[in-house]
Structure 1
């Protein structure tokens, strides 16, 4: 029988993009998820600083069983517990909090903590995390990923912040294990105009950029 963790990785590797939802209403989130699923993307994160995040995670997990729904912006143990209780299947943080990481690792929940420097990246990796979210990648760029993976070639890096359709391929070429994408993926103009068919096509076009790097 396939475990929840093995199912997570199977889905993730088929489309190694973490879509980040922040500050949207439940009605909009459900429409985003519908377009996300239709486009063949698999991994969606709701940040815990979104109003009603826990209930959104629960609802998405129930209504979109083919998607993997996680919680982002998890900064402390209270938020971690709330996210897990809501059914979050993976955890993303903007920082290194050893208590949060240790609890997630102990409970066999994939976790991507945020780190900025090589020292932070290695510290997070040494705690047993699934991959390290390089954040904000906006300030660091593609060359940073390549440079870090020179000496730290065993570490899995997930650049987040500043990843777009125009540069996503270059991050994978540099050796990224995946990417996190917020506003460049969850396009606010398309959402505000109610063009969810256009949003689906936008998702598809970004996924197409990395087809040669899909391992699943």
Structure 2
């Protein structure tokens, strides 16, 4: 079992989280597999996907011997869902908004929590209850400058933009100080039409871009 700091380090090393919203259990699984095959090995499996906990369990067991693969849960709106995800093997919990119950559960079970925030008040509330990473969502509405603006009053905040992250602006987000980035449609979008080969191609491009960013 990954310790909390190990899970956070795995997410940081992955750099990009594939935000997977499948139309079926098998679709979610295949999209995730295709992303991992392309080199984007952090999977945020959204609970809007059918039987998301089953898919998380399946992926967690399949890749348990690969430390570069880290599987977590997304769109976690309440404590019951958070606990279900943890039992299934989720190594981190992501929400589109902040929820105190989820924050407390994640603290109790030592699982990283990444709540969606959009204002300084929300960021402060999240940090006060132990959020490990602040997810700026939707990132498309504000752009990379939001990171330096938020880290003015909250220099200790690790920030993950999600929503609007693409291959073209990935370097801008990291240059602005992103801890990691969540990518959905621009990365795994073709999976909705079961074009898993294209998901793998996209993931390879994201992975190559990330290596360039880290090596500069």
Say yes or no: TM over 0.5: yes
Partner of 2:30: 31
Superposed CA RMSD in Å reads 2.0
What displacement does 1:136 show?
Answer: 1.0
What displacement does 1:150 show?
Answer: 2.5
Alignment of 1:37-56 (within 5 A): 37-56=36-55
What displacement does 1:31 show?
Answer: 2.4
Partner of 2:93: 91
Query: CA distance change for structure 1 residues 187 and 49 in 2, over 3 Å: closer, same or farther?
Result: closer
List runs of 5+ in structure 2 lacking aligned partners: none
Write the distance in 1 (CA, Å) between the matches of 2:10 and 2:39. Answer: 10
List runs of 5+ in structure 1 lacking aligned partners: none
Partner of 2:16: 17
Alignment of 1:73-152 (within 5 A): 73-152=75-154
SS in 2 for 1:154: coil
Q: Which moved more, 1:103-112 or 1:62-71?
A: 62-71
- Could you tell me the TM-score, scaled by structure 2's length? 0.89
SS in 1 for 2:7: helix
Write the distance in 1 (CA, Å) between the matches of 2:79 and 2:13. Answer: 30
CA contact (8 A) 2:8 2:112 kept: no
User: 1:43-79 CA distances to partner (integer Å, 9 max, x unpaired)?
Assistant: 1011112111111111111223232111111111111
- Could you tell me the TM-score, scaled by structure 1's length? 0.89
Write the distance in 1 (CA, Å) between the matches of 2:145 and 2:129. Answer: 25
What displacement does 1:152 show?
Answer: 1.8
Write the distance in 1 (CA, Å) between the matches of 2:151 and 2:91. Answer: 27
